[in-house]
Amino acid sequence: MLNVDVLIIGGSAAGLVAAITAKSNNPDKSVMLVRKEEKVMIPCGIPYIFGTIGTSDKNILPDGGLKNLGVEIRIDEITDVDAEKKLAKTASGEEIAYDKLVFATGSSPVIPQWLKGTDLKNVFTILKDKNYLDSLYHAFEGLKKIVLVGAGFIGVEVADELNKKGFDVTVIEIMPRILGLAFDDEFAAPVGETLEARGVKVRTGVGIQEILGDAKVTGVQLDNGEKLDADAVILSLGYRPNTSLARNSGFSINEYGFIVTDQYKRTSKPDHFAVGDCSEKRDFLTGKLSRIMLASTACAEARVAGLNLFSLSTICTFRGTIGIYSTCIGETACGVAGLNEATAKSEGFDVVTASFTGVDTHPGCLDCSQKQTVKLIVSKKNGVILGGETLGGRSVGELTNVIGFAIQNGMTVNDLLVAQIGTHPLLTASPAGYPLIKAAEIAAKALKNA
Amino acid sequence: MLNVDVLIIGGSAAGLVAAITAKSNNPDKSVMLVRKEEKVMIPCGIPYIFGTIGTSDKNILPDGGLKNLGVEIRIDEITDVDAEKKLAKTASGEEIAYDKLVFATGSSPVIPQWLKGTDLKNVFTILKDKNYLDSLYHAFEGLKKIVLVGAGFIGVEVADELNKKGFDVTVIEIMPRILGLAFDDEFAAPVGETLEARGVKVRTGVGIQEILGDAKVTGVQLDNGEKLDADAVILSLGYRPNTSLARNSGFSINEYGFIVTDQYKRTSKPDHFAVGDCSEKRDFLTGKLSRIMLASTACAEARVAGLNLFSLSTICTFRGTIGIYSTCIGETACGVAGLNEATAKSEGFDVVTASFTGVDTHPGCLDCSQKQTVKLIVSKKNGVILGGETLGGRSVGELTNVIGFAIQNGMTVNDLLVAQIGTHPLLTASPAGYPLIKAAEIAAKALKNA
């Protein structure tokens, strides 16, 4: 029997960061990370192995940080957890006694049970597994037409990358827009247009009814009666938390299927934590249960768990999940932090919104200049920033984080009006026309008149 | 005699934003902006007119925003302000009665009185004036060797741009490093190396003693006895506030030569405000008088004045200046927000510092990938972030603003440990290796052991 102080189950972003935080803050404790995969995929990099990166071999989450700290890595699968005895069993027959345990078991692609044809050859998901992705990559060789079902971030990014590789790619999305959950229409629309201009066929407002074929995919039947030919189908319909181990071991699971956790990421059983996609999320602004799964959120949660394993620190609690996303199709990037307008309204916030479009350099005539738009979603009651959306060149990735910090710090429109920002001709919009601050100005006026 | 509600003196970033804020928040008031220049230069864009932009004509601060709002622009010079009578006189003989006045008179290049040879032909400064810059641009035609004296941001950027145009450029800096006031050594050094690799000769740790020549520049005499040949000399030794009008009109001027202002940017006389480079600055962290002049700070101050002209709003005060700068030489960009380590220590802060170097994409093998370093300067007493420095690709412009928001919100290392950031393979570092958060982790450990 093995004996460790801390046992981490899962080796993707959450497990990695939990292990590093645990070990580096408790160097005298032994930390073991057990994962199924020999090599772990960088999760957000997966869409890019199909085109930009070109191979999964260059998209590996490095083990160096763990090894240098002295975290023991085991390639195995935990099949049983006895939370009372603090004893885990592995598929290879190992028994591991532990003091603290962290579930970081991640998430798996959703395959709708009602959908016919999901077991046909050349029907795939974007499973976060190197061997699977390699097999998928090779299965595409010689194929022409690929249909992606679901136009969230993963679907859109994979579609663009496969299109880049010369496939004939169609994206099917039941919502009226691609990226429709994350973005308000005016931000999703230009990304969709860019995607189409690059050659991806985008079919929104229509669902899939059935995957057609006999042993092998030949097409898809849409819910409007139409049929599309297809040599392969990729289902990118979201992910569900991997919680069967925790569920079977008697841990509380919430109504959305996540392992119940508190602010310190402690589960329903003492000394057992859960972080990342498998663990409960609550919205930062409403405190409501949330389904957001993000590697960046997972890492923040993993740090919280790692810092609070052996004694609680009141200052290192997780105050809830802020969705902060960005993506990039060609040279068009966009991002969102917090609530978009549609979500804010459906949550019951009375909001004003304000948008400003400027240019991301100053002057705006440089070869690298791109338009930049910022939209703010603001509480009408108190001017607090509930969310923001960005559209522009590649600098909007970090600009979205500026807005994320505004939200995390409870900044109001008035705070933004007098906020100081740094600007540079080649790197940012101008100080007099910085879209984030200009949007705040417009919001301030709207609040005054509201 | 003209009659206006609000008179703004000066049309650069501060005047522009003060006028726009004043008019858009008080649409029933008449706002007049008086400036000397027919066309106003975008201040931070000036270095780039010599190379990247290629002409001052494409670096004009647009008047559209003012005109659309109904701000009246007068090209004239205010020569006298009677603060008691609230009456201004102009060079063209106009009299303007006003209710509120805003000084936004800017700053001018320092020309040291002790320096011999500053009146020779082909000795220039970087005056923020289109006609002057055009004459300078043309004066360079046919010349070969240009010496820049002073390697602050303007000196370094102008040097790089002139080098790009094929001039033989040498930068002289009396401090041991270029950008030595803004950055700690390990950030200034790689920018210096980039500058040199691009062909600019960089001479640090040596001052200028005299500009040599007979009517026309022939060289410079350094304080180590050396002589350098030069066809032109550009003095980039900083700027001094333009306050002679305010001084002559009886306004209080502080010991650094700035117009004294309070948190609402009110001067020593009722109904008279001052914003931008001409107005008093205090450091955000220490409250001490400061000499920092930045267009972005100027714009924040201008918003404060514009919002508080007719009645004070307690929430729109200016809490002090945070220096947030960035620059970019070739593909190497760097930024700083708040205090660097050297300044923090000389101010009397007991600090820990922490640096982390990662890559600005994930995976880090993309064509666009660049190393990214973040250094945090943290109070040992309470973990508050006092400053941060960045080095990497172009995304560090906005990343520096993320740190700026951390400082403005009084965030601590513990706040950063659990802060949520958004990441994307093409746009940012990875969530598990995001240099800002990793630097915070290192700082947290240093604080624990401190």
Q: What is the pLDDT of residues B285-333, one digit of tens each?
A: 889 999 999 999 999 999 999 999 999 887 777 788 999 999 999 999 9
The rounded distance, in Å, linking the Cα atoms of A87 and A103 is: 14
**Interchain contact, A445 vs B24, CB within 8 Å:** yes
Dihedral angle over CA of B337, B340, B344, B347, nearest 10? -90
Q: What is the DSSP string of A383-416?
A: -BEEEEEEEESTTHHHHHHHHHHHHHTT-BHHHH
Distances (CA, A) of A449 to A129, A380, B70: 53, 10, 20
**Interchain contact, B394 vs A327, CB within 8 Å:** no
| Residue A225, number of CB atoms within 10 A of its CB | 8
Whether A425 has its CB under 8 Å from any CB of chain B: the answer is yes
In sequence order, which ranges of B272-348 are alpha helices (DSSP H)?
295-308, 341-346
CB-CB neighbors (< 8 A) of B60 in chain A: 363
Kindly state the helix (H) or strand (E) to which residue B357 belongs, with its residue range.
Answer: strand B351-359
Residue of A314, A427, A441, A448 to mutate for B, most B C-beta atoms under 10 A: A427
Q: What is the mean pLDDT of residues A423-438?
A: 96
What values do phi and psi take at A91, rounded to 5? -60, -30
Q: Map tokens 């201040």 to a residue.
A: B43
CB-CB neighbors (< 8 A) of A363 in chain B: 42, 45, 53, 58-60
How distant is the alpha carbon of residue A361 from its chain centre?
A: 29
Given a cut of 90, whether residue B450 has pLDDT beyond it is: no
CB within 8 A of A422, min separation 6: which ones? A428, B294, B296, B324, B325, B326, B335, B337, B397, B400, B401, B404
CB within 8 A of A449, min separation 6: which ones? none
By Cβ distance, the residue of B44, B395, B409 closest to A409 is B409
Q: What is the mean pLDDT of residues A241-256?
A: 98
Whether B421 has its CB under 8 Å from any CB of chain A: the answer is yes
Distances (CA, A) of A81 to A17, A288, A313: 22, 29, 27
- Report residue A75 as tokens: 């390639």
Distance from CA of B170 to the nearest CA of A (A): 23
**Interchain contact, B319 vs A394, CB within 8 Å:** no
Which residues, numbered 224 to 283 in chain A, qualify as contacts with chain B under a Cβ-Cβ cut-off of 8 Å?
A: none
Q: What is the pLDDT of residue B316?
A: 73
Per-residue confidence at A313, pLDDT binned at 50, 70, 90? confident
Given a cut of 90, whether residue A319 has pLDDT beyond it is: no
How distant is the alpha carbon of residue B364 from its chain centre?
A: 32
The rounded distance, in Å, linking the Cα atoms of B183 and B186 is: 8
The rounded distance, in Å, linking the Cα atoms of B193 and B178 is: 10
The rounded distance, in Å, linking the Cα atoms of A323 and A326 is: 10
- Report residue A332 as tokens: 């068009």
Q: What is the pLDDT of residue A30?
A: 98
Whether A116 has its CB under 8 Å from any CB of chain B: the answer is no
Whether A432 has its CB under 8 Å from any CB of chain B: the answer is yes
Residue of B49, B293, B296 to mutate for A, most A C-beta atoms under 10 A: B296
Average pLDDT value for chain A: 96
CB-CB neighbors (< 8 A) of B61 in chain A: 432
Which residues, numbered 48 to 67 in chain B, qualify as contacts with chain A under a Cβ-Cβ cut-off of 8 Å?
A: 48, 52-53, 58-61
**Interchain contact, B296 vs A422, CB within 8 Å:** yes
Q: What is the pLDDT of residue A290?
A: 94
By Cβ distance, the residue of B25, B53, B362 closest to A42 is B362
Q: What is the pLDDT of residue A47?
A: 96
Per-residue confidence at A380, pLDDT binned at 50, 70, 90? very high
Please tell me whether residue B214 adopts helix, strand or coil conformation.
strand
| Residue A355, number of CB atoms within 10 A of its CB | 19
The rounded distance, in Å, linking the Cα atoms of A41 and A131 is: 10
First to last CA, chain B: 67
Please tell me whether residue A45 adopts helix, strand or coil conformation.
helix
| C-alpha atoms less than 13 angstroms from C-alpha of A356 in its C-beta half-sphere | 20
- Picking from A439, A448, A311, the residue whose alpha carbon sits closest to that of residue A373 is A439
CB within 8 A of B381, min separation 6: which ones? B350
ipTM of the complex: 0.96
Distance from CA of A397 to the nearest CA of B (A): 5
Q: What is the pLDDT of residue A275?
A: 98
Which residues, numbered 333 to 352 in chain B, qualify as contacts with chain A under a Cβ-Cβ cut-off of 8 Å?
A: 333, 335, 337
- Report residue B37 as tokens: 């220049």
Q: What is the pLDDT of residues B248-264, one digit of tens each?
A: 999 999 999 999 999 99
Q: What is the pLDDT of residues B105-139, one digit of tens each?
A: 999 999 999 999 999 999 999 999 999 999 999 99
Q: What is the pLDDT of residue B360?
A: 97
pLDDT > 90 in chain A, percent: 96
CB-CB neighbors (< 8 A) of B402 in chain A: 398, 401-402, 405
**Interchain contact, A401 vs B422, CB within 8 Å:** yes
**Interchain contact, A424 vs B48, CB within 8 Å:** no
Q: What is the pLDDT of residue A4?
A: 98
Q: For residues A33-66, b (16+ Cβ closer than 10 Å) or e, as one string?
A: bbbbbebbbbbbbbbbbbbbbeebebbbbbeebb
Angle at the Cα of B181 from the Cα atoms of B175 and B187, rounded to 5 degrees: 95
By Cβ distance, the residue of A394, A399, A409 closest to B426 is A394
The rounded distance, in Å, linking the Cα atoms of B179 and B302 is: 27
Q: What is the pLDDT of residue B369?
A: 96
The rounded distance, in Å, linking the Cα atoms of B215 and B234 is: 16
Q: What is the pLDDT of residue A316?
A: 73
B363 upstream amide cis, omega within 30 of 0: yes
Average pLDDT value for chain B: 96
Distances (CA, A) of B403 to A55, A215, A338, B230, B421: 34, 55, 19, 41, 12
Q: What is the pLDDT of residue A260?
A: 98
Q: What is the pLDDT of residue A449?
A: 83
- Report residue B6 as tokens: 């609000």
In sequence order, which ranges of B88-184 are alpha helices (DSSP H)?
130-139, 153-164
**Interchain contact, B52 vs A426, CB within 8 Å:** yes
In sequence order, which ranges of A311-363 are alpha helices (DSSP H)?
341-346
Q: What is the pLDDT of residues A2-33, one digit of tens each?
A: 999 999 999 999 999 999 999 999 999 999 99
- Report residue B2 as tokens: 């003209």
* Identity of the residue numbered A416: L
Looking only at the bridges linking them, the beta strands covering A168-173 and A145-149 are parallel
Q: Is A122 left (phi over 0), alpha (psi -120 to 50) or beta?
A: left
CB-CB neighbors (< 8 A) of B319 in chain A: 418
Residue of A423, A437, A442 to mutate for B, most B C-beta atoms under 10 A: A423
Q: Is A302 left (phi over 0), alpha (psi -120 to 50) or beta?
A: alpha
Handedness of CA B293, B295, B300, B302 (dihedral sign): positive
Q: What is the pLDDT of residues B158-214, one digit of tens each?
A: 999 999 999 999 999 999 999 999 999 999 999 999 999 999 999 999 999 999 999
The rounded distance, in Å, linking the Cα atoms of A232 and A140 is: 8
**Interchain contact, B303 vs A417, CB within 8 Å:** yes
A363 upstream amide cis, omega within 30 of 0: yes
- Report residue A361 as tokens: 């350099």
Whether A322 has its CB under 8 Å from any CB of chain B: the answer is yes
Q: What is the pLDDT of residue B302?
A: 96
Q: What is the pLDDT of residues B46-95, one digit of tens each?
A: 999 999 999 999 999 999 999 999 999 999 999 999 999 999 999 999 99
**Interchain contact, A431 vs B404, CB within 8 Å:** no
Whether A406 has its CB under 8 Å from any CB of chain B: the answer is yes
**Interchain contact, A414 vs B322, CB within 8 Å:** no
**Interchain contact, B424 vs A397, CB within 8 Å:** yes
The rounded distance, in Å, linking the Cα atoms of A310 and A312 is: 7
